[in-house]
Amino acid sequence: MADSINLMDWRLPAPTDRAQLMVAESAGILKRFYLIQRELVLMQAGWLPGADHWQSKLLLPEVLWQDALVADEFRRRVLELRFPRREIVVGDDAPIVQLLQQFRNAPDGLAFIEGLQVVKSKLRTTYRNYLERIDHLDDAPTVRILRQALADLDEQIARLSTAAADGFQVYPERHAPAQQWTRGTRTMVEQLGDLLDLTPRDIAMPAVTEFGGREFAISRTGARDRRFNLNRFGWPDNLDRAIGPGVGLLLQVRQSVHHLNELWAAEMAAACLFDLAADAEPEFLTDAARWCFDEIRHCRMGFTRLTEWGFPIGEMSLGTFPYDAGADAAPLTRLAMIFYFESTYIHTKPERAKIFGEWGDAVSSHDMDFDWADEQIHTHLGTRWLKYFLEKRGDPRRPTDVRPDAEACVKQAIANAPPGDRAKTQAAFETMMTRARQFALKT
């Protein structure tokens, strides 16, 4: 039959619904998604130290870790589609990235959490539309990434909304400024337009002061929720290591308070991410995000234990040491501060897991066991990235050589502690131990 017709006159049908986007355009859109996710991670990390409301503080590290994983998946997919090219440049997406950076400029942490929901809702709509447009056969790896991103966003938006509602009950005076900021966020989100349209665009940068915003700067001191018993130092052995951890009931309470106070480490990891990401390989974003999330999980371990035992939040001793101790330090010294704490106390974790287990506190043992598993990763991360940044700066020091600077910050904070702080920490300790004796059962 082929001999009897002109083959160019005949064609099998080719419906175009599957064939809307070719590889180059798909890679362009996914690059934009990567840049957006990356900006989300940076702004959420940047806000962690300055956000005081408790539920927001607990949530931000988890959310930014999820966003960092999705960012990394998008980045890898772009590189697959553009293989063998390895670079990702911002290019025509610069105005979009610049506008996204305006979302950092919220008046306070609660307003930021409110605005974040608007941004994430926009992203959810965009990802849903894109999932409908792409071909689920040819571009199946992207389908998987989008489905995960959408599941994350659904959960994140719901949890952020619950956190914000609690926040406005605790801080009702923040509600009006947050509403004003949210209105501004909506206006800015409208300016983002259709994120699936790759036509180069100009975006007029808004004056965020019109919405009550102010230029963002990461807080170098840890903001704390006023419901806690706030002290600069969470427990007396922060000030004097010679006190030792104690045994039995004291060790149980001490361990939980120390876990609660690992909030400082989550803040420090977030600060390192925020300060150093622009200067690092892309993997630093996921490593630092994971570190931050792990430390807030350790903090949650302590909060959960204390809550389960019945301690009222107002009696839980929550400090800012040693995050505040790094306020004037260089970013690499801050990284070394976490590294120094990790490597110094890591040996205590399996010991404590064993002690608690033998003594009949299976939950504290379990917490310590998983904490130890996390900390071993962090020791590796600390070494890896300190080495990386030192080499990149042409600094001849080894990672362990930065340790004296980190130790000096901590020692100085302890040496400068006014007598009033020592007395407050001691009083918090006594309140908690008195309460613990009321809750304790005879072994």
- The residue range among 68-76, 118-126, 257-265, 353-361 that interacts with Fe ion, by the rule CB under 5 A, is 257-265
Task: Convert residues 13-52 into a mask of x (bound to Fe ion by CB under 5 A) and - (unbound).
Answer: ----------------------------------------
Q: How far is the CB of 68 from Fe ion (least distance, A)?
A: 17
Q: Which two tokens stand for residue 210?
A: 């019109």
Question: Hey, is 328 helix, strand or coil?
Answer: coil
- The residue range among 103-111, 185-193, 233-241, 258-266 that interacts with Fe ion, by the rule CB under 5 A, is 258-266
- In angstroms, the CA 433 to CA 253 distance is 8
Q: How far is the CB of 349 from Fe ion (least distance, A)?
A: 9
Question: Closer to Fe ion at the Cβ: 41 or 292?
Answer: 292
Question: Closer to Fe ion at the Cβ: 107 or 302?
Answer: 302
Q: How far is CA 386 from CA 111, 145, 392, 407, in A?
A: 34, 31, 10, 15
Question: Closer to Fe ion at the Cβ: 35 or 353?
Answer: 353
Question: Closer to Fe ion at the Cβ: 121 or 348?
Answer: 348
Q: Which two tokens stand for residue 143?
A: 């389908």
Q: How far is the CB of 299 from Fe ion (least distance, A)?
A: 8
Question: Hey, is 123 helix, strand or coil?
Answer: helix
- The residue range among 18-26, 119-127, 256-264, 354-362 that interacts with Fe ion, by the rule CB under 5 A, is 256-264
Q: How far is the CB of 300 from Fe ion (least distance, A)?
A: 11
Question: Closer to Fe ion at the Cβ: 377 or 433?
Answer: 377
From the list 23, 134, 169, 172, the residue with the least C-alpha distance to 85 is 23
Burial 78-114 (b: 16+ CB within 10 A, else e): bbebbeeeeebeeeebebbeebbebbbbbbbbbbbbb
Residues with Cβ < 8 Å from 273, sequence gap 6 or more?
A: 41, 42, 45, 284, 285, 288, 289, 292
**Adjacent-strand bridge partners of 318:** 230
Cα 420 to its chain centre, rounded Å, is: 33
Among 52, 72, 262, 275, binds Fe ion (CB under 5 A): 262
From the list 165, 171, 72, the residue with the least C-alpha distance to 117 is 165
Q: What is the footprint of Fe ion within residues 289-308 (CB under 5 A)? A: 295, 298
> Counting contacts by CB under 5 A, is residue 53 touching Fe ion?
no
Q: How far is the CB of 291 from Fe ion (least distance, A)?
A: 7
Question: Closer to Fe ion at the Cβ: 77 or 298?
Answer: 298
- In angstroms, the CA 202 to CA 200 distance is 7
Count residues near Fe ion (CB under 5 A): 5
Q: How far is the CB of 369 from Fe ion (least distance, A)?
A: 13
Question: Closer to Fe ion at the Cβ: 35 or 64?
Answer: 64
Largest alpha-carbon pair distance within the chain?
Answer: 102
Q: How far is the CB of 373 from Fe ion (least distance, A)?
A: 11
- In angstroms, the CA 95 to CA 45 distance is 22
Question: Closer to Fe ion at the Cβ: 85 or 347?
Answer: 347
Q: How far is the CB of 382 from Fe ion (least distance, A)?
A: 9
Q: How far is the CB of 375 from Fe ion (least distance, A)?
A: 5
- In angstroms, the CA 345 to CA 95 distance is 46
- In angstroms, the CA 295 to CA 263 distance is 7
Q: What is the footprint of Fe ion within residues 151-210 (CB under 5 A)? A: none
From the list 411, 362, 367, 405, the residue with the least C-alpha distance to 386 is 405
Question: Closer to Fe ion at the Cβ: 114 or 262?
Answer: 262
Question: Hey, is 250 helix, strand or coil?
Answer: helix
Q: How far is the CB of 233 from Fe ion (least distance, A)?
A: 17
Q: What is the footprint of Fe ion within residues 395-434 (CB under 5 A)? A: none
Q: How far is the CB of 224 from Fe ion (least distance, A)?
A: 18
Q: What is the footprint of Fe ion within residues 342-381 (CB under 5 A)? A: 375, 378
Question: Closer to Fe ion at the Cβ: 67 or 262?
Answer: 262
Q: Within 10 Å of residue 393's Cβ, how many Cβ atoms?
A: 11
From the list 354, 346, 419, 349, the residue with the least C-alpha distance to 378 is 346
Residue 394 identity (one-letter amino acid): G
Question: Closer to Fe ion at the Cβ: 263 or 355?
Answer: 263
Q: Which two tokens stand for residue 420?
A: 């009033």
- In angstroms, the CA 19 to CA 293 distance is 40
Chain residues in the site for Fe ion (CB under 5 A): 262, 295, 298, 375, 378
